[in-house]
Amino acid sequence: MAQKEVNIRNKKARFEYHLLDFYTAGMQLTGTEIKSIRKSKASILEAYCVFDRGEVWIRNMHITEYENGSFYNHKPRTDRKLLLNKKEIKQIEKFLMVKGNTLIPLKLFLSEKGWAKLEIACAQGKKLHDKRQDLKAKDDRREMDRALKK
């Protein structure tokens, strides 16, 4: 099955958060949702994950309606269930008990079998001075690369 590479990223996540643990989760989707994802018509920039009644859900993820979906089409911003092992769910639940911790999506991609997968990370928000240090380090690396290039 030849298919286009789908790689939808949350570029702000690494700048806004300290990323601690990473998980890869499947998603429970309908037919029109997966067709839109295969056409790269999704966004996880404003999305976040929540723990609710023993399950992990992703909220505010936008998947554009499938143009040929007719009345079977899905709603663009609904809660979608993430498929994880019980052990992973318990680890996430324990992590989210601490104030200031959150669960954010990093990357939406298709597996080798064609299933939609979501890479999520347990994260803590960065302070303003941490963000400034990251920008300074990035500028320093850029300057060193320019000096080495000449």
Q: For each of the domains in the chain, give its residue range(s) and CATH number, in order of start.
A: 7-149 (2.40.280.10)
The answer to whether the beta carbons of residues 116 and 122 sit under 8 Å apart is: no
Confidence at residue 88, expressed as pLDDT on a 0 to 100 scale: 92
Question: CB count, 10 Å around CB of 99?
Answer: 5
Tens of pLDDT, residue by residue over 8-50, are: 898 888 888 889 999 999 999 888 888 888 888 888 998 989 9
Residue 59 has pLDDT above 70, yes or no: yes
Following CA atoms 50, 45, 75, 79 in sequence, which dihedral angle do they give, to the nearest 10 degrees? -10
* Reported pTM: 0.78
Confidence at residue 4, expressed as pLDDT on a 0 to 100 scale: 66
For the stretch 45-49, contacts whose Cβ atoms lie closer than 8 Å and that sit 24 or more positions apart, written own/partner, are 45/10, 45/11, 45/12, 47/10, 47/104, 47/105, 48/102, 48/103, 48/104, 48/105, 49/82, 49/102, 49/103, 49/104, 49/105, 49/120
